[in-house]
Amino acid sequence: MKYSLGIDAGGTYTDAVLISDADGKIVDSIKARTTYPDLLIGIQNAFDGLDQSILKQVKLVSVSTTLATNTILEKTGYPVGLILVGKTDSPRNSAIKYYISVEGGHSTGGNETAPLDLHSVEEFVQNVRNKVSAFAVSSYFSVRNPEHELKVKELITELTGMPVICGHELSQSLGAYDRGITAFLNAQLLPIANQFMNTVASEVNRRGIDAKLMMLKCDGSIVGMNEALKHPIESIFTGPAASLVGAAYLSKEPSCVVIDVGGTSTDVSLTVNGLPQISDSGAIVGGWQTKVEAIKMETSAMGGDSHVWVMNHVLNIGPRRVVPLCVAATEHPNIIKKLKQGQSISRTQLGENIQPTKFFVRTEQKPIELTQREEELLNRIGDEPVSVSEIHWESRRMPSPMLLDSLIQKRLVQAIGFTPTDVLHVLGDYNEWNTEAAIIGAEQMCIFADMEVKDLCLEIKRKVAKNMALNLLSYLMETMDAKEIEKGLDGDFFAGFKVDVPVVLLGGPVRAYTEEIKKFVDANIILPELAEVGNAVGALAGKGVKRIEILIRATFGESKYNLKPTSISVFSPLGKDEMSNYKEAVTYAEELGNKLVMDYMRDSELDDGNINIEVTKKVINPLDTGVPLETKYAFLGIAELKK
């Protein structure tokens, strides 16, 4: 008998499931804590927790991860150099520290509008090469002609040998700035994606499992691991995609909306007739507009491990993820004693990093580019959790919140704090970890929030449930302002919100919020069996999907009587090609589209199953001539995974 293994590594848990290929039933599952920043131990624990006799019979391993999404939400990506070519906007976000705009770019017809300024590119690269982990480049209308992006990539590769992500490799959509942002974000995530995929591959090989390795992509489709390792950029944002595909599989609802509550974020997405709804403009994550072809989703930085903190008597949740007190106490029992002792913090000092329940522990990440003050602070943080009061007693001064924040962003320090997961332990809804630590943490929070323990915990639980409902409604009513929807959720009206599609809940302790959500939304809420490992199921349930767009454009003379085209161009992912006539262009486009789909399926190890290619054609002919002004082809290839 053959079996398949699905693995999902989230910010909090690494889930794994074993599914029988014969009947599609889940025969074993496990949840293991994700080990951060080294993922290997968590993945090994997930393997160890499964039935070893069945594991040896696995012939397919498919994986997904939320780590990339969490990195964007937490703003902890690796440094990247961004190069914008041509008439592109300058970066509007201070998170982009290293960037340059240079002359170059192309027109809508794929013709060069200005020579590429390679000298400025070389100067920039030499200046930042020791400060960044990768480069991203986006050129004006590179979707019509990627020549300048490719020249920049070639130069950087020759100079540094470092990874380079080009905008045209990620999307054929217009918008050079957004493609640049997409390339920038994905370049930030390259080390994380590579580490994850290499870790899984090495562990499968170490255990002698003879299986095909696949990975779920951000559009809900799957790709061979070897291809994913060549282009790890295509495998980001897979966590939300896995939750969507897994929810449809577990609930047996081909059309449903999914709320996935993870450790760091809450994600909402929709599947219709078994295929995920794809974003027209690209995924929006952490306030960034991207051009990544991904499932359409609504994401907020609020999850089970989001940091709960108090400032000016106001409860805040997130956006940073911390290790919950109840979890930290299982590894560091001394933290309970420290919680009981309390910290010497005044109300005026309170902030996200100065909290009565917040502790800091050093990671195994090696420091790079530290200031003297950062290095001094880092040396006071060891392998056991320390509070700001302890740092204060040793150095005779309160640690700078900005320095603490910088060390957390550089992944040198892991924060521990009070979270919604602790709240569920206090309320008795969840008892996976150390309840005593959670209760003491709640008591300490109450001192500064001026609330009773039960009231504090119920209010935090209500806020999390409201956030889930707000995400759900914002997704389904995308033309409505989220603030107006929130007014409806907060108000006491003789009317409310009703959802007409089944709502499937996924996530570890998400069942604790079922009744709370119903207070905000009238919906058929489904909590499927094994909902806590739905993402790992989704890693296996995806199909092979490839979308290709090809445009035929005719250029006519200026005279209104000249209805014969002066040129016919075909724009594809390969670039621009000139044709002698329209018939030749049509034949070339149709053959190329089918070929690109099949090449992708072969490279992704999906060509051994059933492949169906759907072709749609849209003709624009305002001049009512024999040759249309534009002919747009869309090729959709779907491969059923052979197990």
pLDDT in tens, 86-101: 877 766 665 678 888 8
CA atoms within 13 A on the CB side of 294: 29
**Interatomic CA distance for residues 207 and 46, integer angstroms:** 13
CA distances from 134 to 170, 200, 410 (A): 16, 23, 16
Q: Which two tokens stand for residue 565?
A: 């085209």
Q: Name which of 161, 71, 78, 74 is nearest 368 in CA terms.
A: 78
Contacts (Cβ under 8 Å, ≥6 apart) of 38:
364
Judged by DSSP in three states, 26 sits in strand
Residue holding tokens 């090449």? 599
603 Rama sector, left if φ>0, alpha if ψ -120 to 50, beta otherwise: alpha
At 34, phi and psi to the nearest 5? -70, 130
Is the bond preceding residue 37 a cis peptide, omega within 30 degrees? yes
CA-angle at 330, arms to 325 and 333, nearest 5°: 85
Residue 15 in contact with residue 30, Cβ under 8 Å? yes
3-state secondary structure 401-452: HHHHHHHHHCCCEEEEECCHHHHHHHHCCCCCCCHHHHHHHHHHHHHHHCCC
Residue holding tokens 């309840």? 435
Contacts (Cβ under 8 Å, ≥6 apart) of 184:
80, 82, 96, 136, 165
- Other CB atoms within 10 Å distance of the CB of residue 96: 19
Q: Which two tokens stand for residue 574?
A: 């390969």
State the angle between helix axes of 147-160 and 118-128 in degrees (0 to 180), rounded to the nearest 10: 40
**Interatomic CA distance for residues 353 and 346, integer angstroms:** 13
- Other CB atoms within 10 Å distance of the CB of residue 1: 8
Residue 303 in contact with residue 411, Cβ under 8 Å? no
Residue 551 in contact with residue 514, Cβ under 8 Å? no
CA-angle at 87, arms to 86 and 91, nearest 5°: 95
Residue 169 in contact with residue 199, Cβ under 8 Å? no
Where the chain has pLDDT below 70, the residues are: 1, 37, 66-77, 90-95, 170-177, 179-182, 186, 188, 229-237, 280-293, 395, 557-563, 608-609, 623, 625, 641-643
Q: Which two tokens stand for residue 415?
A: 């924060």
Q: Name which of 217, 285, 125, 302 is nearest 544 in CA terms.
A: 217
Beta strands in 445-557 (DSSP E): 497-498, 503-506, 521-522, 525-526, 544-556
Query: What pLDDT shows up at residue 172?
Result: 62
**544-639: same fold as 80-188?**
no
At 272, phi and psi to the nearest 5? -125, 120
Burial of 253 (0-12, 13-18, 19+ CB in 10 A): buried
Judged by DSSP in three states, 575 sits in strand
Specify the DSSP element, H or E, that contains 158: helix 147-160
The pTM of the full predicted model, rounded to 2 decimals, is: 0.68
**Interatomic CA distance for residues 569 and 603, integer angstroms:** 28
Specify the DSSP element, H or E, that contains 149: helix 147-160
Query: What pLDDT shows up at residue 589?
Result: 94
Judged by DSSP in three states, 216 sits in strand
Domain boundaries, the chain: 80-188, 306-451, 457-533, 544-639
Q: Which long-range contacts (CB under 8 A, 24 or more apart) does 251-254 make?
A: 251/502, 251/504, 251/526, 251/528, 253/502, 253/504, 253/526
Residue 416 in contact with residue 308, Cβ under 8 Å? no
Compute, in degrees rounded to 10, the torsion defined by CA atoms 303, 309, 314, 315: 30
Query: What pLDDT shows up at residue 291?
Result: 56
**Interatomic CA distance for residues 100 and 497, integer angstroms:** 47
Q: Which CATH class is domain 544-639?
A: alpha beta
Q: What is the CATH number of domain 80-188?
A: 3.40.50
- DSSP lists the bridge partners of residue 504 as 258, 526
**Interatomic CA distance for residues 233 and 68, integer angstroms:** 10
Residue holding tokens 């603490």? 404
Q: Buried (b) or exposed (e) across 609-623, using 16+ Cβ within 10 A?
A: eebebeeeeeeeeee
**Interatomic CA distance for residues 120 and 122, integer angstroms:** 5
Contacts (Cβ under 8 Å, ≥6 apart) of 84:
90, 91, 99, 100, 101, 102, 137, 138, 139, 176, 177, 180
Q: Cα 118 vs. chain centroid, distance in angstroms? A: 33
Query: What confidence tens digit (pLDDT) does each residue in 352-393 have?
Result: 888 899 999 998 877 777 888 888 888 888 889 988 888 888
Beta strands in 189-340 (DSSP E): 212-216, 222-224, 256-261, 266-272, 275-276, 284-285, 288-289, 297-300, 306-311, 314-321, 323-324
**Interatomic CA distance for residues 422 and 232, integer angstroms:** 35
Q: Cα 294 vs. chain centroid, distance in angstroms? A: 10
- DSSP lists the bridge partners of residue 221 as 543
Residue 197 in contact with residue 539, Cβ under 8 Å? no
- Other CB atoms within 10 Å distance of the CB of residue 13: 26
Beta strands in 225-290 (DSSP E): 256-261, 266-272, 275-276, 284-285, 288-289
Judged by DSSP in three states, 102 sits in strand
Compute, in degrees rounded to 10, the torsion defined by CA atoms 153, 175, 83, 150: 10
